[in-house]
Structure 1
Amino acid sequence: MEVGKLIKADATPHASALIESLRDIGYTLSTALADIVDNSITAGASKVHIHADTLSDAPSIAIIDDGCGMSRTELIEALRLGSKNPREDRASTDLGRFGLGLKSASFSQCRRLTILTRCDGVLAGARWDLDEVAETDRWEVSLIEDDNNIPHAHLFLGNGTLVLWEKLDRVDGGYQQDASKRAQHINSALADAERHLRLVFHRFMERSGKGKLSISINGRDLVPIDPFASKNPATQVDPEETLALAHGVVRIRSFTIPHHNVLRREEWEELGGPEGHLRSQGFYIYRGDRLIISGSWLGLARQTELTKLCRIRVDIPNTMDSDWKIDVKKASAQLPPAVRERLKKIVERFVQTSKRTYRKKGQKLTDETRVPMWHRVLTDGTIIYQPNLDHPALVEFQERLPDSLRQDFRNCISLVGAGLPVDSLHADMLGHAETVKASIAETDALEQALHSMVPHLLDRGISKSSIRSMLKTTDMFREEWERIEPVLTEILQQGEPE
């Protein structure tokens, strides 16, 4: 044997072992469906229909698009694992990367993947069946000559592609023997996937004309979710910033979404999603208009109540995949050093916008011209809330008490302040501040407060119009404004002229 010559041995992976391993990359039904939709968009589809049969003994999910379709040769290549080298140049609209998405996403949910595709009117079909691979241990797909006996094939008309998942062992929740529980579990997973698709592809769904995408599930069209509420006039939008790097340009834009008082409850809840606004703040990273990361500061800031209105959109091209370490699922990424430094500076400046929005609400507590019911006092770094014993309503009532009871009255008010349930408030406010409300005062109590406050404000030289505006924006009066406005008008008419 020649000295120094290397001896080589065949290390071709065993088909059954590797293909089973690919099932555990970490897809959910949501991310798996999104990966299939990526292929539809790359194929130029304008419509994607998802049909799920959850009630039969053999449940299945089909994803049908009206894209360009594939020839038989192209189909076989698409079913090859690693069909494209991630280093290859791609069109800017290509949402793929590794040549694994179609297969790894499908195998993560099912054991049988069938593809029907029609290009220029010519039908082609092929199937991966993992049970067959387990028996043969060979990298072989079965070719299909027609669409007979293929579930959902009657819905597949014209050019495009049908991706069919059967043997849903990763979607059925383990309820193979209980049809009703199995259907319930699959439908629940589809409900989660619905929101995911509405968010991930919202920019494609919001387009008009060429490039617009519609997605439906079981015949129901999905409505996009814009995480920035960019069409709401109360949303604050910063100018776009750009960062030119070796492999492309990063585009950055900061948004401060409206305070919950400005939005309808259903709008606010949809923006926050199932995990709430505390978890929805941070970066939203898009690759070719497709969302890959939502609601994370990526280690550059902490998720806090005061910054939960902050959302930063970051757009990257698919030429930067290796720089960002985009994973197979297109669900995670890492910040390149140059981008991290730039974003760190943007975050430090931008989060102050959201904090000011909330502090502006809290500033009213220390604005003496508004005659607050509570004082907000900062002592040695500690914020203390104390009842305002000098509030006109309390002073007026105190003056009607006999001298012997006045100190007792002040003691009672002090106890109310000392009994403020700070721990409970903190727990309730954490991530769900919009659900915490003050109790509604009785109309008689509000009228009594008006009779005390209005003369006090007039004596301080505040005009009647300013008093009206001030009280209308004060929480306890705003909620009952229709009932107390006539009382206020009567009191102002009795007051001094402006």
Structure 2
Amino acid sequence: MDYSKLPKTEAVPEASSMIETFRAIGYNLETAVADIVDNSISAGAKNVYIDRIWEGGNTIITIKDDGCGMSSDEIVEAMRPGSHNPLETRAANDLGRFGLGMKTASFSQCRKLTVISKKAGYHSAYWTWDLDYVALTHKWELIRWTPDEYADAIDNQKSGTMIIWTDLDRVIPPSTSVSDIAAKQKFSDAWARVKSHIAMTFHRFIESNVISIYWGENIIDAWNPFCLSEKKTQIFPSESLYFGSQKAEVKGYVLPHKNNFSSEENYRKAEGMYGYPAAQGFYIYRGKRLLLAGSWLNLFRKEDHYKLVRISIDLPNTLDSEWQIDIKKSTATPPISCREQLRSYALDVRNKGMEVYRHRGKILKKKAGANFQPLWLEKKKGNKWSFVVNRENQLIKNLQEEAKTNPVPAINKLLRIIEESIPTPTIFIKQSSEENLQKEPFSDMDISLIKEMLCRMYDNLIASGQVSEQAKAVLKTIEPFNNYEDLIEEL
């Protein structure tokens, strides 16, 4: 097409409307802060300092680093929306893509974004996006302003950058008083989630000593979802997913059962921000950066008996488009070409995870010349399943013998053993996967046995002085006889 011959006109986006659109992209506080830390890592920072000053509606959040820094002109370029083309080839350690992260992450939380930066050999410089000013002027203009207390915040550094968020209208209502205890607690809870998210998202950077991230004055410890320090974590061989000349790596992990964790504290720590059921699934990384945590990517449902299963997927940033990595770096969709391979690999890991959950971490091995005697057996009749006590178990046989001479203690022992050993995890798994095939209680029980027990209890009640109607009323309140009212009426 010969564009030179066609009429043209500008269609420049209206500044205030476009920025308000950026604000609606869908960050929360923790993903927004993580996006700023991405920039620090891309700038070669060795230390990042995340802080906040509670002042009610005037609360301030800052993220400072000691990276390479920027000159005044480079700050302006970095603050221009869409400063990078997502189709351009990027360095392997580049955590950005769209050139929107710092702006959209910041706008989603605050109305004033200030960037102070200093490049080695330069004086520090600063510029601010003020959304109120943009709304007033309808212009894409930065203002040279910074909160007074931060004007010289990085002057003593060789290089580095500080991001300052003020007017945090999406985090704290502007009218909030500094003495509002409830609002302060709500903000503190949200701020604590940021710390947990940072510990998880950048755990590989922290573990490999690429960077230290500080929470106020305290260093953030890495949270590794795969519990590699636990001796009984089961690690699966990795598998490659190929996309032309590019490839991704998949690796499965099954965490130990609670009974086999090194300590109760470590078991609780391993559950993460939202608990074990939520933490199961795939963990997608781009380089060392975690993008998506605990999702089965629509390949499976989250079910309690797979809660110990976690699978890493490592992607190069050259596969962003194929995996549909979004601006927030918090969602991903596997290409159709690899979904079946992913599903097949995950099935093996999930099956092992289910076994660990079912047997409470115990590994059952047959010894030479001996057969394992389970207390419960799974029974199949037609297509219906149920669980029954194993009458051939030697413990049950011993109690049967004891009952001949000492029935009450023997029965009490049997009841206690049944109470303590009901295979709840296995039953739960069967109910989840084959709910409609569970045998109804007493559905195949000999009706004459029910009648015999009813008659004996009825006679005992009559012998105790109750009249017939009273005895029948009592029997109707006793499980399982409450399901046999017609038989009771025949007594």
**TM-score, normalising length from structure 1?**
0.75
Structure 1: tracts of 5 or more residues without a match: 431-498
Give the corresponding residue for 2:131. Answer: 130
CA distance in 1, matches of 2:350, 2:35: 33
Moved more, 353-362 or 128-137: 353-362
Contact (CA 8 Å) 2:226, 2:255: kept in 1 or not? yes
Match of 2:195 in 1: 194
Give the superposition deviation at 1:251: 1.3
- Give the letter for the 1:203 counterpart: R
User: Retained in 1: the 8 A contact 2:56–2:176?
Assistant: no
| Displacement of 1:410 | 8.9
Q: Which residue number corresponds to residue 478 of structure 1? A: none
Residues 248 and 316 in structure 1, CA contact (< 8 A), matched pair in contact too: no
Aligned to 1:150: 150
Query: Match of 1:323, as an amino acid?
Result: E
Alignment of 1:230-269 (within 5 A): 230-246=228-244, 248-263=246-261, 264-269=263-268
Q: State the distance in 1 between where 2:200 and 2:309 align.
A: 17
Q: Does 1:401 align with 2:406?
A: yes
Q: RMSD over aligned Cα, in angstroms?
A: 3.5
Secondary structure of 1:324's counterpart equals: coil
Q: How does 1:202-217 map to 2 (within 5 A)?
A: 202-208=203-209, 212-217=210-215
Aligned with residue 383 of structure 1, among 376, 382, 386:
386
Change (3 A) 1:223 1:412: closer
| Structure 2: unaligned runs, 5 residues or longer | 433-491
Match of residue 220, structure 2, among 213, 219, 222: 222
Q: Partner letter of residue 243 of structure 2?
A: L
1:181 is matched with which residue?
Answer: 182
Could you say if the C-alpha distance between residues 126 and 415 of structure 1 is closer, same or farther in structure 2, counting changes exceeding 3 Å? closer
CA shift digits 1:195-246 (9 cap, x unpaired): 11000000000004xxx11111111211101111123221222222223323
Listed as ranges, the matches of 1:69-468 within 5 Å are: 69-120=69-120, 121-144=122-145, 148-150=148-150, 153=153, 157-172=157-172, 176-177=176-177, 179-208=180-209, 212-246=210-244, 248-263=246-261, 264-361=263-360, 374-380=375-381, 381-386=384-389, 391=396, 394-395=399-400, 397-401=402-406, 409=411, 413=415
Structure 1's 143 and 370: CA in aligned 2 closer, same or farther, altered over 3 A? same
Distance 1:225 1:84 in 2: 31
Distance 1:275 1:156, change over 3 A: farther
After superposition, the Cα gap between the structure-2 partners of 1:166 and 1:239, relative to the gap in structure 1 and judged at 3 Å, is same
Task: Tell whether the 8 Å contact from 1:247 to 1:319 is kept in structure 2 after alignment.
Answer: no
Measured at CA, do residues 175 and 295 of structure 1 come closer, stay the same or move farther in structure 2, by a change above 3 Å?
farther
How far apart, CA to CA, are the structure 2 residues paired with 1:307 and 1:242? Answer: 23
Note if contact 1:36-1:102 (Cα within 8 Å) is conserved in structure 2. Answer: yes
Q: Secondary structure at the match of 1:143?
A: coil
Deviation string 1:113-168 (CA, Å, 9 cap, x unpaired) is: 11100101421110001011110010000125x88433792797331000000001
Using the TM superposition, give the Cα deviation of residue 387 of structure 1 relative to its aligned residue in structure 2, in angstroms: 8.4
User: What is the alpha-carbon distance in structure 1 between the residues aligned to residue 99 and residue 289 of structure 2?
Assistant: 17
- The alignment status of 1:63 with 2:63, answered yes or no, reads yes
Distance (Å, rounded) in 1 between the aligned partners of 2:193 and 2:365? 41
- Taking the aligned partners of 1:156 and 1:25, their CA distance within structure 2 comes to 36
Alignment of 1:32-51 (within 5 A): 32-51=32-51
* Residue 26 of structure 1, CA deviation: 0.5
Relative to structure 1, the CA distance from residue 78 to residue 156 in structure 2 (aligned partners, 3 Å threshold; closer, same or farther) is farther
Residues 238 and 254 in structure 1, CA contact (< 8 A), matched pair in contact too: yes
- 393 and 60 in structure 1: CA distance in 2 versus 1, 3 angstrom threshold: farther
Aligned length: 416
> One-letter code of the match for 2:387?
I
TM-aligned CA distance change 1:252 to 1:233, over 3 Å: same
SS for the counterpart of 2:70 is coil
Q: What is the CA–CA distance in structure 2 between the aligned matches of 1:270 and 1:414, rounded to whole Å?
A: 33
CA distance in structure 2 between the partners assigned to 1:170 and 1:83 by the alignment? 25
Give, in angstroms, the shift of residue 301 of structure 1: 2.3
Q: Which residue of 1 aligns with 2:457?
A: none
In structure 2, distance between residues paired with 1:280 and 1:354: 13
Question: Structure 1 8/60 Cα, relative in aligned 2: closer, same or farther at 3 Å?
Answer: same
Q: Give the aligned partner of residue 490 of structure 1.
A: none
* Aligned residue type for 2:104: S
Quick check: 223-232 or 380-389, which moved more?
Answer: 380-389
Q: 1:269 deviation in Å?
A: 2.0
